[in-house]
Amino acid sequence: CVQKHTFCQNEEKRTLELSGHVGLRSLPDQLVKRAVKQGYSFNILCVGETGIGKSTLINTLFRIIFENEEASHYDEEVKVLPRTYDLQESNVNLKLTVVHTVGFGDQINHVKSSEPILEYIDAQFKRYLEEELKIKRSLWNYHDTRIHACLYFIAPNGHSLKALDLVTMKKLDSKVNIIPVIAKADTLTRNELVNLKIKVMSELVSNGVQIYQFPTEDEAVAEINSSMNTQLPFAVIGSTENVTVGNKTVKGRMYPWGSIQVENENHCDLVKLREMLLRVNMEDLREQTHTRHYELYRRCKLEEMGFKDPTLDNQSFSLQKTYEAKRKEFIKELQHKEESMRQMFVNKVKEAEVELKEKEKELQGRFELLKTMHQEEKKNLEEKKREMEEEMNAFNRRKVAAETLMGQALQGSSQQPFKKDKDKKK
């Protein structure tokens, strides 16, 4: 064996060259066979306004029509709908998850439009972290639902990005790999399309939005990826219809003035998007999701839980001590919250008691007032009753006197004719 000596950080390492074949060269083949047998997963998030062509583009990208319900423009909130499909090409199996954002941009108030999307992305990170922290893990057959690529659909209005687009992409750039695309590019002229691409990239840079850059470290794909980075955002046209051009049948759209071939690179960037997304950089997108976006989420969550790396003086990190410290901190915080809630309850009870006493006092005052008014009214009624009784007694006396007088008058009148008759007889 020929020995080669290398030095790294004052430690001597030796690299040995074998004098014969032992089979190490078959290791990449073993990994490939294992990966092919296990299969792959790839998750795409489609963000864009309703009716901008998200479903049609996905169907065109994978050359298959996926089942999808049509969305209306009247949803009160944004809904995140994931759909998972099992695809196969040759002997390669792919579990594809397409996540649609139904109702995005349809509301008058866009303040909370991105919240359901961010919550969904964090929920997938949380699921993976929970699986990773289990005692009995099964990551080898775990269905990874973390978002690997976000296709952000830009409306072809010919001006620039909307405020909603900038705000949403700014919130997403630290969580997913954003690939911006200009949807329905056939509505723009070639010059309008070039100007829109320049404006979009300029606004993304000026607002600090970090989109996914195709990697250039690998020499095998450095040239094509460098070229594709200069053509972002991709101008795409989706169509699942067959049109006849000459003696060929291709996917495209037919117009009165001619036809558009969606897989013709002179007409749109669909083929470039498919090449970059699926054939060239799919594994890098998966790797970036795990090593960059998920690691950022994982680090923040573990720091919140009290975990930390060993210090510079190589002090060992005790998981038991961290757990005990976090448990004590949690119990202390729980006791503090319990005491706060108890104090809040006591204060609420006191406030309720004061309020009840005030109400009781107010009701007592009203009762006394009504009692006084009742007594006065009763006194007035009794006075009126006494007066009425006196008037009735006086009326009865007058009535008796009048009847007596009338009786005497009648008696006197009846005696006078009798006397006259006696006088006549005499």
Question: Over the stretch 237-291, which tens digit does the pLDDT of each residue have?
Answer: 888 888 888 788 888 888 888 888 888 888 888 899 999 988 889 999 999 999 9
Q: Residues 70, 102: contact at Cβ < 8 Å?
A: no
pLDDT at 11 over 80: no
Q: In which residue are the tokens 């092919």 written?
A: 36
User: SS3 for 214?
Assistant: coil
All residues at 6 or more sequence positions from 185 whose CB lies less than 8 Å from its CB, including other chains: 156, 193, 235, 236, 237, 268, 269
> What share of the chain in percent tops pLDDT 90?
34
pLDDT at 4 over 50: no
Higher pLDDT, 322 or 272: 272
pLDDT at 412 over 70: yes
What DSSP designation does 248 have?
E
What DSSP designation does 52 have?
S
**What is the pLDDT, as a whole number, of residue 10?**
47
pLDDT at 9 over 70: no
Q: What value does the mean pLDDT of the chain take?
A: 84
**What is the pLDDT, as a whole number, of residue 8?**
46
What DSSP designation does 280 have?
I
Mean predicted confidence (pLDDT) in 289-304? 90
pLDDT at 378 over 60: yes
Q: Residues 259, 252: contact at Cβ < 8 Å?
A: yes
Q: What type of residue is 144?
A: D
**What is the pLDDT, as a whole number, of residue 204?**
92
Return the closest-CA partner of residue 270 out of 77, 96, 416, 59: 59
Q: Residues 146, 204: contact at Cβ < 8 Å?
A: no
**What is the pLDDT, as a whole number, of residue 123?**
93
Q: Up-side HSE of residue 305: CA atoms within 13 Å toward CB?
A: 15
* 179 beta partners: 151
pLDDT band at 180 (very low <50, low <70, confident <90, very high): very high
**What is the pLDDT, as a whole number, of residue 140?**
79
For the chain, count helices (H), then strands (E).
Answer: 10, 11
**What is the pLDDT, as a whole number, of residue 149?**
93
